[in-house]
Structure formats: C-alpha cells, structure tokens
Amino acid sequence: MKLILPLDLVADIEPHLPPNTEIVRVDIDGNLDSDASDAEVYFSWFLSRSNVLHKILEAAPALRWHHAPNAGVNHILTPTYLERDIILTNGAGVHGIPIAEFVITYILAHAKHLPELYSLQTQRHWKRGFAIKELTDATLLIIGAGGIGQEIAARAKPFGLKIIGSRRHPQELPNFDKVVGADEWRSLLPTVDYVVIATPLTHETKEFIDESVLRSLPPHAYLINIARGGVIDESALIKALTEGWIAGAALDTVSTEPLPPESPLWSLPNIFITPHTSGHSPKSQQRSIALFIDNLQRYQAGKPLRNVVDKEAGY
C-alpha cells in the first residue's frame, strides 16, 4: 500500500506503519518526492490553499481515503474535490482540549477585566472599582455541542456556569443543563451571558451570527468564536461592538486570515483577537497522528473509519 504523507510528519508516523508500506512525501506546496499515481491514502496537514489539494488529487487518481487533521473541512470540499469518490475523515475531537482551555481564558479575561488590569500594571497605575463578575450562575450557550463543545462544557461546569448546548440532533450530554436542537437556541439569546460558536462552517451556518442574532443578545453578553470566521457577519459584529449592542467579543478566527492591518476589527472596543491559535498544542499533533494510525489499521482491516465526514452536510 502506498501513502501520501506530510514531509514533516514522516519521522513520527513511519515507525507505526506496517511492513512494505510505501511513502510518498509531500511538502507544504504540494510537491511530491515520488510517483503517487497508485497511492490509496493521503494524510494532509492543514492545507492553506485549495490549489495544493487539487495538485495532490491530480497526482493521485487512485486515492480512496483522505484524512485531514482539521475539524472544519469547508476549505476541502471544493467542487473539484466533490467530483471524486474519496472517503474523507477529519480531526474532530483532536483539538478540543486546547480550544476549551482558550474559551475559559476568554471568559475569565472578560469577567475579571484582565486586559485592563494588565495595562494598569504596565503603566504602574493603581486603580480600583472595576465591575468584576463571577461566573457562578452565569449562562453559557454553546452553539455546536459536538466534540469541542463538550470539552468546553466539561471545563466550564466547575466554574458554576449554567450550560446550554445546541446540536442538530439534541440529546442529554454530560455537563450540559440542557441541549436544544437546530435553531431553538435563537429563542434563548436574551437570557445568556456568554455565547460560544463551535459549529462547522456550512451553507447553513455561513454568517448565521447576523444582526438579528446580535440584537437579540443582552447588552452584557460576550461572544466567542472558535469555529470559522465565516459564521459571523463581520459588518454586523463591527456595528454591534461599536454601538454597544453586546459587551464584547473574542475572535480566534476571522473571515480573512491573516487579518489585514487595516481591518476595523483590530481597534474595536472590548475585542480580544487571537491569530487562530486556540487549537495549538504539541499534544494535538500527537493526537492527530494517533487518530490517523488507528484509522489506517481500520482501513486495512476493512473496518469502519472514525470521523467520516458527511460531505453533503459539510462535517
């Protein structure tokens, strides 16, 4: 069997491969070190450009299974990709722990006024009187109670938050006080203190955090996006933060990445921008490789793969 593997990960993956496995190495620009015409499996590593993916597809006409480390795969499901009958699996759950830790960081930073307090320290200025909040009894709405949403709930629950989740098929989940379906979360917006967006970017969720959603939130609400930038109507968010419809926002993802220096998002009041780093952790790479190796063993044994993407649904 022949595999296409990211050049930088071959040393970590090769010791776990069965004998007689052939490896085609691929660099970040999609350049292959050998013939991939009969390769069955492709493990990509955070593709940044669709033309790189299309380059691999052209070089590997026999490709049967593609594993991507991302949870979101909207950038992979191009018309060219969808023409091929390829099983796609993703990294759902792999990045849940570091992302959940970042979400707690965003919430605490807002509730405890950490940016302002740190600024005062750098100025050597002693000031008191901040309206510092507790998290106990505050309501957290997690839009997208999948693997990442559940990791967030597990870390938020010990702080005493009331946690509501939403998912297409609602069910009881650990650490959630309530899980609602589809669009039911919209009726809950006036009652929440924190909103975390953890849903994939699909045709249904593109810019679904729009002006009507933002106006439905109470003025003290805080919005956190660790999904994809495209789920938020950024012009509406800019208006909401400028005019004070909500108290603030933390954005780990934005529509255009890197965020251009001239973007008004940089200078909005009470916004915390991080450069798509919430999922970063050395352990995430270890988990990604472990998931791929487990799936490779399943693939060879003819068993069902984990994290198979429904390409029509988009996740």
Please give the positions annotated as active site: 228, 257, 276
Per-position b or e across 117-144, b if 16+ CB within 10 A of its CB: eeeeeeeeeeeeeeeebebeebbbbbbb
CB–CB of 266/85 below 8 Å? no
C-alpha 37/C-alpha 60 separation (Å) is 5
From 271, 188, 198, select the one nearest 234 (Cα to Cα).
Answer: 271
Residues near 232 by beta carbon (within 8 Å), at least 6 away in sequence: 197, 207, 209, 225, 251, 255
CB–CB of 222/194 below 8 Å? yes
Q: Are strands 139-143 and 248-251 parallel, antiparallel or unpaired?
A: unpaired
Strand partners, 194: 140, 222
C-alpha 97/C-alpha 100 separation (Å) is 5
DSSP state of 237: H
